[in-house]
């Protein structure tokens, strides 16, 4: 039996996230929007396309109109009053396009909303509804599947991964002038288990060598894992929290297996958010070990005097792109500035920056959804213009997902800048004793 092409089972599962489980947050935000429409100017998808369909208010309206149809008096008995909508195939298709294809869950609209509606949270709930209905875009789902089936979202075979680490170990040993310098793998009882974005071993191995160099100079006791090194968790973006739990649980188990003291999450905004902030909630348990981002880790090394940075190494103008998941949704705002100001003489902020930054356009899983490539690159035009206005030659960002998007918009908009991760620029300036 179907309801406008959605099966009854799909409809039931799709509506389940709106049933009001948990706290008052969902109920609050579903009932708060007043349709002032003033959020439009805070959304890069609207700014880049001028398409009124893509405004944050329309996204809120889409999910709240479905909520009202099934959960409010007027929505049930006088749906025309608030345009309350049944959840049918057309509505679900529109949700796919708006929630997956035109929102990076960057949260900028939330901060600027005249009321305070957590719009990115509602989009996440919308994605959860779609995931329950098996309507996650195939491209995003294939990334999740790769992580579940192979242990990393790029399906890198372990032998290739180990080859890359060996190669980077040689690079790093050459750089520090110590043939004994190594990249430890699967070593139990270390102080830190470090994780990577699979883009590193796949496309940007030098960033692994960069972080290894920092660990080496800091005299850190650390290790990588072969069983579970992937910091990303695209299931958090697909909305399937069962799969997100499965992925996060592997990292917890690897911490236990290797008996590491602390977990340091590699440079990945969404990976940091998905694990540090979200996984304790969808796994319903608190961390038994300290968790921190690599940015915080590097900042601590500087404060403790474990590494020193040469202010003569980077002389060109440098700017920084703040990853939304790290900054607006993760509270890491000052550490990256603290690090750069130690050695970058000519640092310039983007405008707007910090918690008010514009998303690069590649967040929310958009980089993995090729069907939205044109829209994503167009949305990235806002960031491209920001970069251009700084006049910087180097753009630093502590997120490999952002690095990918920035590299693409760098080429598309002919910015002519160099994109670097935080570890890469720090490793360039680090003083090796």
Partner 1 sequence: MDVFDSAMLLTWYEWIAPCALGVSLGALLFHITRLIRLGKPDDTAPPLGNVGPAVFYSMTGAMSPAKKESAYLHLPTYLAGIIYHLGTFLSFLLFFFLLIRLPFPSLLTLLLSAFLLVSAVCGFGILVKRVVNLELRSLSNPDDYLSNILATLFQAATILTLYLPEWRASYFILASILFLYIPLGKLKHVIYFFAARYHLGFFYGWRGVWPPGKKERKTNC
Exactly one of 32, 142, 187, 226 binds partner 1 (CB under 8 A); that residue is 32
Binding residues for partner 1 restricted to 109-138, rule: CB under 8 A: 110-118, 121
Binding residues for partner 1 restricted to 273-332, rule: CB under 8 A: 276-281, 284-287, 290-292, 296-297, 300, 303, 327-331
Choose the binding region for partner 1 from 7-15, 32-40, 403-411, 415-423 (rule: CB under 8 A): 32-40
Exactly one of 13, 38, 150, 170 binds partner 1 (CB under 8 A); that residue is 38
Choose the binding region for partner 1 from 52-60, 91-99, 164-172, 390-398 (rule: CB under 8 A): 52-60
* Pairwise CA distance, residues 106 & 123, whole Å: 10
With respect to partner 1, which residue has the nearer C-beta, 119 or 168? Answer: 119
CB of 42 to partner 1, least distance (A): 5
CB of 122 to partner 1, least distance (A): 11
Q: Return the ∠ at Cα 266 (arms to 263 and 271), rounded to 5°.
A: 90
Q: Which residues contact 247 (CB under 8 A, 6 or more apart)?
A: 144, 147, 148, 230, 233, 235
* Pairwise CA distance, residues 421 & 117, whole Å: 33
Exactly one of 6, 44, 48, 57 binds partner 1 (CB under 8 A); that residue is 57
Choose the binding region for partner 1 from 272-280, 341-349, 363-371, 416-424 (rule: CB under 8 A): 272-280
Q: What are 303-308's contacts with CB under 8 Å, separation 24+?
A: 306/217, 306/218, 306/219, 306/220, 307/214, 307/217, 307/218, 307/426, 307/430, 307/431, 308/430, 308/431
Question: Backbone phi, then psi, for 190, in 5-degree steps?
Answer: -85, 165
Q: Which residues contact 262 (CB under 8 A, 6 or more apart)?
A: 191, 192, 193, 289, 290, 291, 292
Instruction: Lay out the site mask for partner 1 across 366-405 (x = CB under 8 A, - = otherwise).
Output: ----------------------------------------
SS3 219: coil
Question: Backbone phi, then psi, for 430, in 5-degree steps?
Answer: -70, 140
How many CB atoms sit inside 10 A of residue 302's CB? 18
Choose the binding region for partner 1 from 25-33, 139-147, 373-381, 390-398 (rule: CB under 8 A): 25-33
CB of 162 to partner 1, least distance (A): 27
Any contact of residue 212 with partner 1 (CB under 8 A)?
no
Concatenated DSSP letters for 62-87? HHHHHHHHHHSHHHHH-HHHHT----
CB of 271 to partner 1, least distance (A): 14
* Pairwise CA distance, residues 277 & 300, whole Å: 20
> Binding residues for partner 1, how many (CB under 8 A)?
71
Binding residues for partner 1 restricted to 326-365, rule: CB under 8 A: 327-331, 333-335, 338, 355
* Pairwise CA distance, residues 116 & 253, whole Å: 38
CB of 380 to partner 1, least distance (A): 20
* Pairwise CA distance, residues 247 & 216, whole Å: 29
Exactly one of 262, 381, 393, 407 binds partner 1 (CB under 8 A); that residue is 262
Asked if 407 and 376 count as a contact pair (C-beta separation under 8 A), the reply is no
Exactly one of 6, 29, 122, 195 binds partner 1 (CB under 8 A); that residue is 29
With respect to partner 1, which residue has the nearer C-beta, 77 or 149? Answer: 77
């Amino acid at each position: 039996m179907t309801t406008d092409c959605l099966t009854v089972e799909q409809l039931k599962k799709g509506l389940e996230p709106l049933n009001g489980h948990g706290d008052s947050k969902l109920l609050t935000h579903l009932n708060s929007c007043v349709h002032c429409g003033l959020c439009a100017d805070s959304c890069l998808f609207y700014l880049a396309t001028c398409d009124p369909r893509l405004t944050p208010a329309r996204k809120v309206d889409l999910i709240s109109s479905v909520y009202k149809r099934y959960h409010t008096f007027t929505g049930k008995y006088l749906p025309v009053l608030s345009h309350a909508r049944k959840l049918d195939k057309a509505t679900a298709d529109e949700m796919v396009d708006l929630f997956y294809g035109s929102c990076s869950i960057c949260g900028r609209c939330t901060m600027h909303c005249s009321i305070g509606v957590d719009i990115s949270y509602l989009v996440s709930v919308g994605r959860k509804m779609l995931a329950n209905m098996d309507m996650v875009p195939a491209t995003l789902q294939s990334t999740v599947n790769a992580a579940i089936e192979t242990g990393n979202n790029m399906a890198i075979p372990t032998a290739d991964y180990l080859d890359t680490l060996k190669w980077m170990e040689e690079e790093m040993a050459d750089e520090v002038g110590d043939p004994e310098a190594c990249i430890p793998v699967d070593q139990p009882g270390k102080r830190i288990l470090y994780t990577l974005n699979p883009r590193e071993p796949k496309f940007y191995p030098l960033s692994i060598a960069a972080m290894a160099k920092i660990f080496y100079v800091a005299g850190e006791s650390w290790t990588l894992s072969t069983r579970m090194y992937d910091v990303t968790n695209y299931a958090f973006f697909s909305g399937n929290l069962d799969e997100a739990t499965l992925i996060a649980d592997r990292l917890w188990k690897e911490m236990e297996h290797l008996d590491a003291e602390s977990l340091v999450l590699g440079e990945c905004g969404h990976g940091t958010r998905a694990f540090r902030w979200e996984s304790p909630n969808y796994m319903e348990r608190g961390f038994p070990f300290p968790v921190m981002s690599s940015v915080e880790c590097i900042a601590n090394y500087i404060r403790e005097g474990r590494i020193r940075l040469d202010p003569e190494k980077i002389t060109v103008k440098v700017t920084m792109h703040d990853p939304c998941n790290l900054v607006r949704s993760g509270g890491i705002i000052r550490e990256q500035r603290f690090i750069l100001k130690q050695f970058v003489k000519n640092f310039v902020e983007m405008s707007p920056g910090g918690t008010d930054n514009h998303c690069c356009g590649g967040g929310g899983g958009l980089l993995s959804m090729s069907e939205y490539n044109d829209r994503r690159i167009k949305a990235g035009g806002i960031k491209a213009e920001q970069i251009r206005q700084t006049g910087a030659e180097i753009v630093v960002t502590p997120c490999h997902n952002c690095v990918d998007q920035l590299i693409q918009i760098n080429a598309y908009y002919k910015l002519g800048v160099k994109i670097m991760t935080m570890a890469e620029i720090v490793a360039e300036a680090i003083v090796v004793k």
